[in-house]
A and B are shown apart, each in its own frame.
Chain A
Amino acid sequence: MPVLVPTSLDDAVSMLADAPDALVLTGGTDAMVEINMGHRRPPTRVIALNRVAELRSWTYHPDTASLRIGAAVTYAELMEPPIADLVPALAQAARTVGSPQIRHAGTLGGNLGTCSPAGDGLPVLAALDAVVHLAGPTGERSMPVAEFMVGVKRNARRPDELIAGVTLPVLDGYQGYSKVGVRNAMVIALATACVAVDTPSRSIRLAIGSVATTILRCGEAEAMATADVDFATGTASAATVARFGELAAAASRPIDDHRATADYRQHAISVLSSRLLRRAFPNES
């Protein structure tokens, strides 16, 4: 039977070891489009991961304030509490993906596997310094998401590995995700931004998407804002908010393509980044 439907991670890993050329399928929302459109060679063997118990589940670890999410958890599931309460930006990003139909099928692991610069979950993972877990024949290895994302639709997964999941820190502070496209639903992002604040450690993280070969973190904007805002009162000056957007736009490296011009994307990044910082620090000094 060339379509294999394993129910355990061990089985899935050994099936992949036996068939390293197999198409690894989770929700199918990217792969099936390529197959339907004739952009992908017809698969001869398929491993469908949507029924692997370990990949379909998530675990909250209060002792380490971290959340591990299995690769086959769907966007629809990310939008529901308690995940939505623990990682609000991920829930917001999930809500912008496609439509209800797409969100019932598409998964966080699929977002990582496709590794498009426009992937909606990825800026959140980057802002939170998520760790990606890969399951292979010799066990599991883990790496920061920034190392996992190698280029446009390229990642660090080896052919004999499966994306098992990600671990995210549960922060204490504002989180937000913003996206620009031609409509609110069913749209591939032209520009995205995620801001995550951790008040106890006085940190502000900003990740931007659709404006480079992979998701970018904006170190200069983060450092400037961290030094200038007042965490205790939730206050940021208008100048800080504006500068945050300017530095984000300066860090972006967009291109002109059929969806938008580089100028438009750069402008959008500035607006989205400033808007999110203002939401995080609503009081103007």
Chain B
Amino acid sequence: MSHDAGAGAVPLGFHEQYSLHVNGEPRDVLDAWIGESLLYVLRERLGLMGSKGACEQGECGSCSVLVDGELVCSCLVMAASAIDQPIVTIEGVAPVGSPSDVQSAFVEAGAVQCGFCTPGLIMATNALLERSATPSELEIREELSGNVCRCTGYGRIIEAVQRVAISRQSAAVDRGSAR
């Protein structure tokens, strides 16, 4: 009915096909609309539900992913403009069942309550620790300022980041003394 009536009037740009490089694999996106955000494509077209959508205006950080190695809000990336760029989502951080040290630290420190913001915070924490191995509390607060958590009050999140920094440092020291 309405489908047939409207078929001839589908505006240009609604039948996009392109391929994205997500978590090390090529993923085909079919019948997409040109203005779709990367967040929408990841969740609704590729079934990767780890990145969360809340504000859809870059304010909450729940949809944080890496595009070409940079931490960005996937809701503000036009998906079709990210062709040929490596994309890493929370699903690409660690295999299911064997969490990364950052993910474990969040659990151990009680930095997770409802968990909605957690994927974005894990992505942001990974980026932060790559940039600065032993960040000060101020640095942690500034680097995580784009990730909103409405449960924890941030104290335990900061503690989780510090735990990872300390354990990575002592692991590096152990490796050094074992030599």
Contact = CB atoms under 8 A, between A and B. Distances in A.
Contact of A44 (B34, B61, B127): B34
A104 B85 CA distance: 15
Given A32-B37, A42-B34, A101 B58 contact: yes
Contact of B146 (A1, A36, A50, A99): A99
B56 interface: yes
A185 interface: yes
Interface in B53-101: 56-59, 61, 64, 70-73, 75-78, 80-81, 83-84
A53 to B, nearest CB: 14
Given A33-B58, A100-B71, A104-B70, A5 B76 contact: no
A185 B146 CA distance: 7
Contacts of A27: 76
B52 to A, nearest CB: 14
Contacts of B142: 100, 185
Nearest to A45: B13
A3 B58 contact: no
A199 interface: no
Contact of A101 (B11, B33, B37, B124): B124
Contacts of A3: 16, 18, 34, 78, 80-81, 83
Given A37-B57, A42-B33, A186-B59, A100 B78 contact: no
Given A37-B57, A43-B13, A100-B146, A32 B34 contact: no
Given A33-B76, A100-B146, A25 B13 contact: no
Interface string B26-37: 000000011101
Contact of B81 (A25, A36, A37, A102): A25
B57 A104 contact: no
B75 A5 contact: no
Contact of A102 (B18, B83, B146): B146
B169 interface: no
Contact of A105 (B56, B72, B128, B145): B72
Interface residues of A, number: 32
A215 to B, nearest CB: 23
A160 to B, nearest CB: 20
Interface in A43-65: 43-46, 48, 50
Contact of A99 (B13, B16, B61): B61
B12 interface: yes
A1 B12 contact: no
Interface string B9-21: 0011100101000
Contacts of B145: 99-100, 184-186
A29 B81 contact: no
Nearest to A50: B81
A35 interface: yes
A42 B34 CA distance: 8
A271 to B, nearest CB: 23
A36 B56 contact: yes
A144 interface: no
A42 B76 CA distance: 15
Q: Which of B58, B143, B146 gathers the greatest number of chain A CB atoms within 10 Å? A: B58
A100 B59 contact: no
Contacts of A184: 145
Contacts of A186: 59, 145-146
A45 B12 CA distance: 8
Nearest to A184: B145
Contacts of B18: 1, 3
B58 A102 contact: yes
A77 to B, nearest CB: 10
A113 to B, nearest CB: 15
A2 interface: yes
A100 B124 contact: yes
Interface of A: 1-3, 5, 25, 27-29, 31-33, 35-37, 42-46, 48, 50, 76, 98-102, 104-105, 184-186
Q: Which 8 A-B pairs have CB atoms at the shortest separation, nearest pair first?
A: A99-B146, A185-B145, A48-B81, A3-B80, A104-B70, A36-B56, A32-B76, A33-B57
